[in-house]
């Protein structure tokens, strides 16, 4: 195992990241930054340049592994320090949440270490099995109604309700993984979501995820040398998925609010698979014509720094999607249990379509021009 050396520019970035992390989280923030720096310097599990059509710097795919190890260390540190929260299960995290999050992370970690070793169908099968087990033994996550007459009629049949929620879980997880193409995009959504979850519910689990994701967000957007990878995307996706189902089941928010909170990955996922289907391509095969790819294409005309254009793309998407939910939550603009958030979600859908159109031609057309 070899380590890459640091340039003067890298040292400056590391100092800046360490200061920001310490201001927010103290010694824990410094520990996580140092851990991520060490992981990013490893000479294996590197992501290929231009893989997502955005990344133009060689970077490690082991961001998820860093979050796993760092999160476990922080959990132990906080528990030993006597910090407690509400909730059940070990360290305030239900056993079945552990199964979902760690199971999905393990699946993604295999793909990060041995890139393209798992077929899309195999990953779909494994994630279906994982969430099938979770929903079977934790049926409280399966809603009996969502406020839509036709869907509520279907949810009145237990077996059908189980199947519908299972399909949604697998689809949402893949939507998060598909959205992981720009610096700070998925981790930013994770930070926004866990600010709200921790503030409403409490518990060490939400606090640790918030710490880990926020420090990764700092490292990822400033350095650009560490990506979430599949382990991170699957792990963050499973975390916010299980948390959201529980959040809704316990009546903490409306479904409309959660739709606004996670609008980008859901809208982009549905739009992308529809686009691929209409083009006669496999809906399982990735492409580089997502909205964040198009926004990045425009930012590259503005920023000289490759990493800055990448990070600006991700942060712009987060700010104008999940950021709206956070702003509304913090300012009490609308109650989180209000169904009026559905109007906001409708505006977000229209804004996505308009932005997709205005940000230019597709990647293939650009290359042919």
State pLDDT tens for residues 58-90: 678 888 889 989 988 888 888 777 665 555 444
For the chain, the residue count is 369
pTM, two decimals, is 0.89
Instruction: Please report whether residue 343 resides in a domain.
Output: yes
Note the pLDDT of residue 354: 94
Give residue 168's pLDDT: 94
10 Å CB burial of residue 75 (0-12, 13-18, 19+) is: buried
Task: Please indicate, yes or no, if residue 2 is contained in any of the structural domains.
Answer: no
* DSSP letters for 134-193: HHHH-GGGS-S--S-HHHHHHHTSHHHHHHHHHHHHHHHHHHHHHHTTSTTHHHHHHHHH
State mean pLDDT over 319-330.
Answer: 95
Domain that holds residue 74: 8-368
8 Å CB contact between 217 and 311: no
Is residue 126 in some structural domain?
A: yes
pLDDT of residue 89: 46
**Cβ 41 vs Cβ 20: under 8 Å:** no
Nearest to 220 by CA among 292, 311, 305, 288: 311
The pLDDT confidence band at residue 5, using thresholds 50, 70 and 90, is low
Token pair for residue 236? 């963050």
> Average pLDDT in the 92-99 region?
70
Q: How remote is the C-alpha of 205 from its chain's centroid?
A: 16
Beta carbons of 319 and 292 less than 8 angstroms apart: no
C-beta of residue 194 within 8 angstroms of C-beta of residue 186: no
Please give the Cα distance from 321 to 359 (Å, whole number): 17
Averaged pLDDT score across all residues of the chain: 85
Provide the domain count of the chain: 1
Residue 1 belongs to a domain: no
Q: Is residue 3 part of a domain?
A: no
Is residue 274 domain-resident?
yes
Q: What is the mean pLDDT of residues 144-157?
A: 85
């Amino acid at each position: 195992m070899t380590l890459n050396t640091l340039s003067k520019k890298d040292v400056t970035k590391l100092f800046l990241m360490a200061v920001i992390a310490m201001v927010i989280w103290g010694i824990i923030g410094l520990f996580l930054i140092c851990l991520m720096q060490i992981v990013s310097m490893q000479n294996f599990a590197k992501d290929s340049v231009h893989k997502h059509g955005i990344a133009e710097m060689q970077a490690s795919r082991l961001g998820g592994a860093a979050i796993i190890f760092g999160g476990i260390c922080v959990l132990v540190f906080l528990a030993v320090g006597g910090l407690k929260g509400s909730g059940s299960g070990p360290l305030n995290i239900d056993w079945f949440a552990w199964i979902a999050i760690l199971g999905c992370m393990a699946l993604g970690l295999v793909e990060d270490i041995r890139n393209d070793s798992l077929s899309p169908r195999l990953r779909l099968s494994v994630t279906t099995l994982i969430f099938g087990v979770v929903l079977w033994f934790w049926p409280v996550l399966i809603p009996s109604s969502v406020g839509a007459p036709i869907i509520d009629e279907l949810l009145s049949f237990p077996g059908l309700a189980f199947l519908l929620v299972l399909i949604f879980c697998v689809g949402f997880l893949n939507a998060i993984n598909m959205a992981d193409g720009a610096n700070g995009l998925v981790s930013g959504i994770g930070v926004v979501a866990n600010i709200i979850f921790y503030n409403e519910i409490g518990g060490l689990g939400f606090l640790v995820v918030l710490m880990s994701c926020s420090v990764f967000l700092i490292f990822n957007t400033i350095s650009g040398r560490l990506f979430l990878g599949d382990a991170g995307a699957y792990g963050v996706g499973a975390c916010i998925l299980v948390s959201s189902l529980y959040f809704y089941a316990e009546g903490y928010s409306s479904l409309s609010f959660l739709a606004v909170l996670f609008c980008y990955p859901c809208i982009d996922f549905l739009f992308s698979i529809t686009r691929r289907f209409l083009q006669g391509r496999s809906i399982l095969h990735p492409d580089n014509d997502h909205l964040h790819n198009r926004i990045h294409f425009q930012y590259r005309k503005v920023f000289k720094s490759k990493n800055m254009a990448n990070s600006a793309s991700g942060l712009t998407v987060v700010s104008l999607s999940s950021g709206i939910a956070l702003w509304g939550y913090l300012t009490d603009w609308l109650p989180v249990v209000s169904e009026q958030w559905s109007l906001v979600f409708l505006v977000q859908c229209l804004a996505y379509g308009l932005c997709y159109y205005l940000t230019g031609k597709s990647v293939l057309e650009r290359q042919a021009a």
